[in-house]
Copies of this chain bind each other. A is one copy, B any other.
Amino acid sequence: MLEAALRDGTADRLCTFEVFARKLPNERRYGVVAGTARVVRAVQDYVFTEEQLSTLDFLDETTIDYLRHFRFSGHIDGYREGELYFPYSPLLTVRGTFAECVILETVILSIMNADSAVASAAARMVTAADGRPIIEMGSRRTHEYSAVTASRAAYLAGFTSTSNMEAAFRYGIPASGTSAHAWTLLHVDDDGQPDEKAAFKAQIDALGVDTTLLVDTFDISQGVRNAIEVAGPELGGVRIDSGDLGAITRRVRSQLDELGAYNTKILVSSDLDEFTIAGLRGDPIDGFGVGTSVVTGSGAPTAHMVYKLVEVEGHPVAKRSRGKAMTGGAKKALRTHRASGTAVEEIVYPFHNEAPEFPGLTSVDLTVPLIRDGEAVPGQPTLEESRDYLAQQLVTLPWEGLALSRDEPVVSTRFVGFPEQQ
């Protein structure tokens, strides 16, 4: 496309591309925008190396030369990272020449789709956990680099910490973790017989009694006895990674209390997702470790966002393919709220129009400038700020918005100021 556009002169046409999703996956009630800050960085870093160019032997010299000097010089506006979104929310509005905008399609969508899928699932788990902390521990169940950004997206959505050291290093996310079954199994005596107490003792010697011991390698009741015998009643926590977690944690809580370990916490893991976490709401659990389900988006590993050309030299354009119709024209959005703070509606309007007004409601601009002339707009939020922003936004949803069951989007989207026939 790039080569053909450079040849026929359309490469320089001023275009607007838009990122949006036609639906929320799995009939969820809201989505969480994530990856925006990574997009801002990636767009600025996007260049081609000579080594890469040397393999593009199917392109003509003009096109290779274009890529050699490629730097995005356009503008991007869009939803804040940590913002809620709904079907057809105009998440990013990318303006520039056709050539420079079309090149960025894949990297922008990859980041937004992957990060938003994780954050959207993670936010539901945080709601289900009802204030109890969640450690992200899913690195091993996704691509080695995806693991790092999945940790980031989960933290954005309210997870407490990550077991991924690279994510801690790169994004400043609090690191935590627990020991594995391998640690217990490593401790065999000279006859090769398991010695769980030796494993617990060594862990406490290294990390103090505030550590969390994994007690389900062999027999859980015996594991708990061994743990308290070695650590004393000041043991920080025990982790249980198998079985019927509700029944087991109730039993373990009684056992710990009988042993005087009233403050020893119970952490659970084992293929948890938002539904199993919700099912454990009444049980004596102090924290969760979540792996596979969060890094794979809990049944929705991609957010299904698309990147579509909506305007060419000021003319709105739109395809009419069956089931994939869309509204042409560059767009902005705002969300209206009642005086109580509850969100009412998402309003999408033409990018260059004044924001419509809604008497009796307050409006929040959802579209903010992210990149101008290829450079990040100063004052981009930190990850912590985006995390706080999301937490505030979740509170604005109508009360049924946080339910886990399948339903319609909880906030509806209305297009205002566009021609009828599009």
- Please tell me if the beta carbons of A114 and B143 are within 8 angstroms of each other in the complex: yes
- Please tell me if the beta carbons of B185 and A319 are within 8 angstroms of each other in the complex: yes
Q: Which residues of B contact A166 (CB under 8 A)?
A: 52
A282 interface contact, C-beta 8 A? no
The CA-CA distance from A113 to B301 in the complex, in Å, is 14
The CA-CA distance from A163 to B169 in the complex, in Å, is 33
A105 interface contact, C-beta 8 A? yes
The CA-CA distance from A50 to B301 in the complex, in Å, is 34
Q: Which segment of A144-152, A338-346, A370-378 sits at the interface?
A: A144-152
Using A107-B144, A140-B105, A304-B292 as known contacts, say yes or no to A4 and B205 having CB atoms under 8 A apart: yes
A392 interface contact, C-beta 8 A? no
A47 interface contact, C-beta 8 A? no
The CA-CA distance from A120 to B271 in the complex, in Å, is 21
Q: Which residues of B contact A296 (CB under 8 A)?
A: 301-302
Contact residues, A281-332 vs B (CB, 8 A):
292, 295-297, 301-302, 304, 307-309, 312-324
- Please tell me if the beta carbons of B147 and A142 are within 8 angstroms of each other in the complex: no
Taking the closest CB of chain B, its distance from the CB of A158, in whole angstroms, is: 21
Using A302-B292, A319-B181 as known contacts, say yes or no to A147 and B102 having CB atoms under 8 A apart: no
Q: Which residues of B contact A309 (CB under 8 A)?
A: 181-182, 185-186
CB within 8 A of A146: which of B1, B17, B114, B203? Answer: B114
- 11 A-B pairs within 8 Å (CB atoms) are namely A4-B179, A8-B201, A10-B187, A102-B182, A106-B144, A109-B140, A110-B140, A114-B146, A141-B302, A185-B319, A301-B301
Give the 10 A-B CB pairs with smallest separation, nearest first.
A192-B315, A4-B206, A109-B140, A242-B321, A8-B202, A143-B146, A182-B309, A110-B144, A114-B143, A145-B145
